[in-house]
Amino acid sequence: MCKIDPKIDIAFKKLFGVEGNKDLLISLINSMLSAKDKVSDIVLKNPYNLPDYLSGKLSILDIKAEDKNGRRYNVEMQILGHDDYGLRTLFYLAKAFTEQIGNGGQYRSLNKTVAINIVDFDFFEEDKDESTDKSYTEDKKIQKKKKDDKIKIYHREIVLMDAKTHVRYPQLDYFSIHFVELPNYKAEKPKTMLECWMTFLNKASEFNIDELSEELKTEEIIKAQQELTKMNFNEKEREHYDRQQILLMDEHARLETAKNKGKIEGKVEGKIEGKIEIAKKMINKGLDNETIAEFTDLELTLIEQIRQEL
């Protein structure tokens, strides 16, 4: 059984961000792209190497790559969410795009830039309808239907398009952001390569290489599992890995506590609402406040307030 979690950023970078594993990175990228956009080869712009990590030059453990057509890719694994993550994504996407030309460069030399964000949290939170912007009315209806149907989207591509016609124009089609939300994928048997990679990232630390399901016995997944199993960390790398793992466990514990608290508060609120409904019926039957309090355990002041509102 593998002990290393590939979702931890340094393990992710050592697995997908080295020359010997470019085939794994290509497979991961292609699993999200359309057939016409798939890549056959890439050049790593910031390959992982130990000296750079030890010297502090690799402060951000993302993966930058470029294909033979000049398109840029920025691949990142993020285990903890924060309020500014969307802005951070846009900042690094814009930075990767503008870095293609220096002073005096030509705009026509710019190529498409693709951000791939694999996150271990619910970034879009479609179940939480907090937006009051009228322009999102149609999207809200779609989201409500998906919520009612218990559908969770695990892969989204965000692009520039006409807000009314949804047309994408070639002269503006230079940005693409892929979001893969790992917690939203629940299927037991993956059917696509992206689902295989999501299963691997979610459960690789539990897998035994000899016990992979038939669906996961692809050349890429087998190699990734083997690479992860033999991966070694030096002292500084292990310190970073352990620190990130603790943060991850703490966050999961916090979310579970909040979830359980919400359930308890919901049950309490439900009980009070039930008692209030009983109190209303008793008031309508002509019973006095003291009798209602005896049967419902509600405060006399609350019962009187209910009586005044009827």
Q: Are residues 72 and 167 in the same domain?
A: yes
Averages of pLDDT over runs of 10 residues in the chain (310 residues) are 83 94 97 94 87 64 91 92 88 92 83 95 67 44 49 90 94 95 89 95 83 87 92 88 79 66 59 83 84 82 87
CA-based diameter of the chain, in Å?
86
Q: Are residues 95 and 177 in the same domain?
A: yes
Residue-range definition of the domain harbouring residue 302: 266-309
pLDDT for position 178: 97
Q: Are residues 299 and 163 in the same domain?
A: no
Q: Are residues 28 and 172 in the same domain?
A: yes
Q: Are residues 214 and 271 in the same domain?
A: no
Q: Are residues 300 and 158 in the same domain?
A: no
Q: Are residues 188 and 283 in the same domain?
A: no
Q: Are residues 270 and 228 in the same domain?
A: no
Q: Are residues 86 and 183 in the same domain?
A: yes
Q: Are residues 94 and 198 in the same domain?
A: yes
Distance CA 106, CA 100 (A): 10
Residue owning tokens 């352990």 = 242
| Residue 137 covered by a domain | no
Is 269 within 8 Å of 287 (Cβ atoms)? no
Cβ-Cβ contacts under 8 Å for 295 (sequence gap 6 or more): 278, 282
Tokens representing residue 131 in the block? 């937006």
Is 210 within 8 Å of 187 (Cβ atoms)? no
Q: Are residues 293 and 225 in the same domain?
A: no
Tokens representing residue 127 in the block? 């179940």
Q: Are residues 217 and 297 in the same domain?
A: no
Closest CA to 184 of 159, 160, 201, 208: 201
User: Domain end: 209, 232, 255, which one?
Assistant: 232
How far is residue 261 CA from its own chain's centroid?
A: 23
Distance CA 117, CA 264 (A): 34
How far is residue 105 CA from its own chain's centroid?
A: 36
SS in 3 state form for the chain? CCCCCCCCHHHHHHHHCCHHHHHHHHHHHHCCCCHHHCCCCEEECCCCCHHHHHCCCCCCCCEEEEECCCCEEEEEEECCCCCCHHHHHHHHHHHHHHCCCCCCCCHHHCCCEEEEEEECCCCCCCCCCCCCCHHHHHHHHHHHHHHHCCCCCCEEEEECCCCCCCCCCCCCCCEEEEEEEHHHCCCCCCCCHHHHHHHHHHHHHHCCHHHCCHHHCCHHHHHHHHHHHCCCCCHHHHHHHHHHHHHHHHHHHHHHHHHHHHHHHHHHHHHHHHHHHHHHHHHHCCCCHHHHHHHHCCCHHHHHHHHHHC
The structural domain count of the chain equals 2
Is 241 within 8 Å of 9 (Cβ atoms)? no
pTM above 0.85, yes or no: no
User: Domain end: 215, 232, 249, which one?
Assistant: 232
pLDDT for position 272: 80
Cβ-Cβ contacts under 8 Å for 306 (sequence gap 6 or more): 276, 279, 280, 283
User: Domain end: 206, 232, 258, which one?
Assistant: 232
Is 48 within 8 Å of 18 (Cβ atoms)? yes
